[in-house]
Structure 1
Amino acid sequence: MPEILTITLKPAVDYATSTEHVEAGPKLYCGTPRVDPGGGGVNVARAIVRLGGSVEAFVVVGGPMGDRLLTLLAAENVPTVECRVAGETGYSLAVTDAGSGEQFRFSLPGESVSETEAQIILDRIYNTVQRDEFVVLSGGVANGLPDNFPQKVQAAVSQRNGRLIVDTSKAPLLHLIKSPSAPLDVLRLDRSEIEKAVDRPLLSIAENLAYSKQLVERGVAQIVVCGHGSEGSVMVAGDQKFFCHAPQVPVRSKIGAGDALVGALTLSLARGDVPEQALKWGVAAAAATVSTEGTALFELADTEALLPQCRLERC
């Protein structure tokens, strides 16, 4: 099985807690927080380890918060490749209103990276990627990096004949969609991200599939996976189209669900599964994650139990 490398350009230390009621004005007393390593690629790597896969997590870190992130990853036995920068790593806070069950999420960004550090990061990525490796670039792009940085990573990975899976957002995602340099192996995005790209709501699975198919036809990616809320996820792989129905589970926290999907999907592909089977694994891992509290990820046994309930439909 090929090795897997995840890349996190904007990691964070994730805090999750709860309070009796969230309201403006009074001081809110919270419970003891749960603290986890976070950021797209970090969570993807954590998911792959939980599924029994072999992975390395490349993380751009700085300051005491970066040190804490690495300590948390070591506690979960996630092998890391650290790329040090001068600025402090960011963190996030999720507070659940115990009365209503609503979750309030706050992201506090790390400091910007310099132009010199940007080149150091890219060079370090190139030197870390192994030949024929699966590489996952997941999460936000750090402040100070250009919008086309994912495509710079793509060029570095292609020189190693690697397979690149991208799950990013905001301006870098829009740049990938509007100005593709070469097809990614896999692009994963949420329905809300597609809606921003087309500037209109996608009300049906058919609309979601149609736009995902356009991305494949335009050469943005060979495989496009797009979430459709609690209903499940669509996949367009070449001329094949699928919809995987998500199992019904109690929703406690959506944090990390998309990353769990990417981790399980990537590991399944690396093990040689066909894309639609990899999609089922991803949907099962995402469903298992939303039924956990705060920033916790799924358990392997829960994912395996939900897998048969992920009904695949060829469209």
Structure 2
Amino acid sequence: MSWILTITLNPAVDLATSIDRVVAGPKLYCKAPRVDPGGGGVNAARAIRKLGGEVSALVAVGGAMGEQLLQLLVVEDVLAVAVHVPGETRQSFAVTDKTTGEQFRFSVPGETMTADDGARLLSAIAQAAPRDGYVVLSGGVTPGLADDFPHQVLAAIAPRTDKLVVDTSKAALAHLLAAPGQPVHVLRLDQREAEQAAGHALATVADSLGFAQNLIARGVGDIVVGGRGAEGSVLATREQRFFCRAPYVEVQSKIGAGDAFTGALTLALSRGEALDQALRWGVAAACATVGSEGTALFESGQVEALLPHCEVEGL
């Protein structure tokens, strides 16, 4: 097993609470909130640590919220590599309506970064990248950074490793798909992102696998993983195609489920697991997170209990 580095360009201090009923107008008195470190790479690192992996979380942080996020990572036993940037680290806020079970999620944008901020981040990433290990770039690319930042990260880590796992969104994802250049090692998309990129619905597992292999043929990634919501996830390479069916869990919170998937999948790959088994670990971690409240992610025992129920088939 090799050390893993996760990168979070736009982290957040996550607050999650609940109330009997969400209604407009009157002041609403919520339950005491749960507070966790958040953002794609941060959650992936939390998942890796919960499963016994060795990980560092490189985070761009600023202000009092940034200091709080670093303190929360200490509580989670996640080693932080802090890159201090101007402005204030953002907050995210989620409220669950206990009557309906609906979850309302609010996320404010991060501070706009400059080219100098981007250069400092790339320098820190290059220094922190583990030799021959995995690097996970997860979450959105901060406003102000170039849309091709994932490829800039790939170039920055090239002297040490080529194992870049990317799980991003919006303009950065669109650029990666439209102008792939050198393929990333692993690319993950959820179903909405995949359907938007494909320009049509991906109604079946075969549709998702076909789209994934199309991306591979275009040089976007060596391994492409696609979520299919509660149904499960697919994984494809040029030669292999797998579908892992997700077991049923009662939904408590969807926050961090995709990040937990990415973290668990990456950890399994770093441990030398076969692709189909790595996919099972990812699905089990995502399901366990969905079954946990607020921003808690999961406990390792929950993942291990679900793992035998995550059925993988080669297609």
Partner Cα distance (1:143, 1:174) in 2: 15
Quote the offset at 1:139 in angstroms.
0.5
Equivalent in the alignment of 1:249? 249
Given that residues 137 and 165 in structure 2 are in contact (C-alpha distance below 8 angstroms), is that contact kept between their aligned partners in structure 1? yes
Given that residues 237 and 275 in structure 1 are in contact (C-alpha distance below 8 angstroms), is that contact kept between their aligned partners in structure 2? no
Q: Which runs of 5+ in 2 are unaligned?
A: none
Equivalent in the alignment of 2:174? 174
Letter in 2 for 1:112: T
Given that residues 162 and 185 in structure 2 are in contact (C-alpha distance below 8 angstroms), is that contact kept between their aligned partners in structure 1? no
Q: Which runs of 5+ in 1 are unaligned?
A: none
Quote the offset at 1:200 in angstroms.
2.1
Correspondence 1:26 to 2:26: yes
Partner Cα distance (1:274, 1:268) in 2: 8
Report the TM-score, using the length of structure 2 for normalisation. Answer: 0.98
Given that residues 85 and 117 in structure 1 are in contact (C-alpha distance below 8 angstroms), is that contact kept between their aligned partners in structure 2? yes
Equivalent in the alignment of 2:292? 292
After superposing the two structures, state which structure 1 stretch, 193-202 or 183-192, moved more.
Answer: 193-202
Query: What is the aligned length?
Result: 315
Cα distance change on mapping 1:162 and 1:198 into 2, 3 Å: closer
Given that residues 41 and 138 in structure 2 are in contact (C-alpha distance below 8 angstroms), is that contact kept between their aligned partners in structure 1? yes
Residues 188-244 of structure 1: CA distance to partner in whole angstroms, max 9, x if unpaired? 110100111122222211111110110111111110011001010001022110100
- Residue 215 of structure 2: SS of its match in structure 1? helix
Equivalent in the alignment of 1:45? 45
Given that residues 48 and 54 in structure 1 are in contact (C-alpha distance below 8 angstroms), is that contact kept between their aligned partners in structure 2? yes
Equivalent in the alignment of 1:132? 132
Correspondence 1:98 to 2:98: yes
Quote the offset at 1:94 in angstroms.
0.5
Residues 24-45 of structure 1: CA distance to partner in whole angstroms, max 9, x if unpaired? 2222111100000000000010
Quote the offset at 1:181 in angstroms.
1.2
- Residue 81 of structure 1: SS of its match in structure 2? strand
Given that residues 16 and 95 in structure 1 are in contact (C-alpha distance below 8 angstroms), is that contact kept between their aligned partners in structure 2? yes
Quote the offset at 1:110 in angstroms.
2.1
Correspondence list, 1:260-271, <5 A: 260-271=260-271
Runs of 4+ displaced beyond 4 Å: none
Quote the offset at 1:17 in angstroms.
0.5
Equivalent in the alignment of 2:158? 158
Quote the offset at 1:23 in angstroms.
2.0
Letter in 1 for 2:35: V
